[in-house]
Structure 1
Amino acid sequence: MMRIGLAIVAMLSGMAGASAQTIESVYTDFDAAECVMFAPGEAEAGMPRQAVCPGYGGYPVLLQTIGDNHSLYFGFPPQGELVSRWASFVDTGTPHDVIEWRVLAERDRQVPQATIQRWFVAVPERDDPVEVLLVQKVGLIEDWQGCIVGYVVATGNPDANEAARKIVDALGSAPQCRTIEPVIEAGSVPLPEYMLYGF
């Protein structure tokens, strides 16, 4: 009888521990005017302008710019490097001014797992930009990694936000970026051609 009672207590304790861990969305503003430049870059030589921007809970947003193209990295870069990766689109892409952070909350600890940000890609054959949700794993202090985990075409897709969150919750906590192949979800509108360097 005592053993059964202890087993039930252990089971309930495990359930309580699991329920104490949740993933929630936190939103921050993104404004390039608030970023602080740390490298002016040289467009002719293919060297981007680099800046650090406010993020979430001490996790920075790193912005790179060459001409009209931008690349964003969330969290701490690999091996302590300032910026070593480029993720953007072949056609001009403009990031939305709101970033959704998917945050793992466990008691008093909040750790951002990944971000979702809407991009507007000016595809030449279309009158209106193609909207794409870019899903990125946040580089944490413990593993110094951050990477693209998914692209969801939002144009013509009313369920795009939910699809992006499912990608985050499945891959955002994966330990090794190098083993992650980005998930691509596109419907009637194809995903604009994208560029990835250093991933």
Structure 2
Amino acid sequence: MKRIGFAVMAMLLGMAGASAQTIESVYTDFDATRCVMFAPGEADTGIPRQAVCPGYGGYPVLLQTMGDNHSLYFGFPPQGDLVSRWASFVDTGTPHDVIEWRVLSEGERQIPLATIQRWFVAAPERDAPVEVLLVQKVGLIEVWQGCIVGYVVATGNPGANETARKVADTLAREPECRAIEPVIEEGTVPLPEHMLYGY
């Protein structure tokens, strides 16, 4: 484990039991060929290509592409802010074709709080990519704030899936993205160098 404060740890431990009773995982497919481009981007000026993809229950997945790198945003972004938000890796990262949504049941309403998606990140010093679970807060209709809340390295970390769910169920409840410092959890393999701005 790396760079996680005592207050965040207490929150994770204290809320894990309650969250498990009301939050379930729902899985959707991610296929970039089904995305619809709405901005072609400008590689020369560093503006990524932008597309909207099918998500969960009407919540979109927004895909940005720059060369071989990708950035994904889940839900509804603050108006006009999508192009200024980028979360990816320095070396090429490829997202898995399945997205895990952590969905809160509140009466008849289903609220997707967070997503967990496995990324395969190129590592020049290794024979195989490093697998990282990217945990993101979903931009809800009434809040319009989505952001990275955690990086959980799955390679060399047998408890990565459960850890990612605990991070998702806790930090995705925070109303303000700017107040969230992404949690970094590592096993025996360090987190690959990543890029994060606009959050």
TM-score where L is the length of structure 1: 0.88
- In our comparison, the structure showing a higher alpha carbon Rg is 1
Structure 1 counterpart of 2:78: 78
Q: Do the aligned partners of 2:93 and 2:122 also contact (CA within 8 Å) in 1?
A: yes
The answer to whether the 8 Å contact 2:48/2:83 transfers is no
Aligned-pair Cα RMSD in Å: 1.5
Give the equivalent residue in structure 1 for 2:159: 159
**2-structure distance, mates of 1:54, 1:189:** 33
Aligned residues: 181
Q: Any unmatched runs of 5+ in structure 2?
A: 1-17
Instruction: Map 1:1-199 onto structure 2 (within 5 A).
Output: 22-79=22-79, 81-199=81-199
Q: Structure 1: how far apart are the matches of 2:103 and 2:25?
A: 6
Q: Taking CA–CA contacts closer than 8 Å with sequence separation of 6 or more, which of the two structures ends up with the larger relative contact order?
A: 2
Contact 1:137–1:149 at 8 Å: present in 2 too? Answer: yes
Asked if the contact 1:80–1:144 (Cα under 8 Å) also holds between the matched residues in 2, the reply is: no
Residue segments in structure 1 that go unaligned for 5+ positions in a row: 1-17
Q: Would you say the 8 A contact 1:77–1:84 is kept in 2?
A: no
Amino acid at match of 1:25: S
Superimposed CA distance per residue, residues 20-73 of structure 1 (whole angstroms, 9 cap, x where no aligned partner): x71000000000000000011121211101000000000000000001000000
Answer whether contact 2:133 2:154 (CA < 8 A) is retained.
Answer: yes
8 Å CA contact 1:136–1:147 kept in 2: the answer is yes
Tell me which amino acid in the other structure corresponds to 2:135.
V
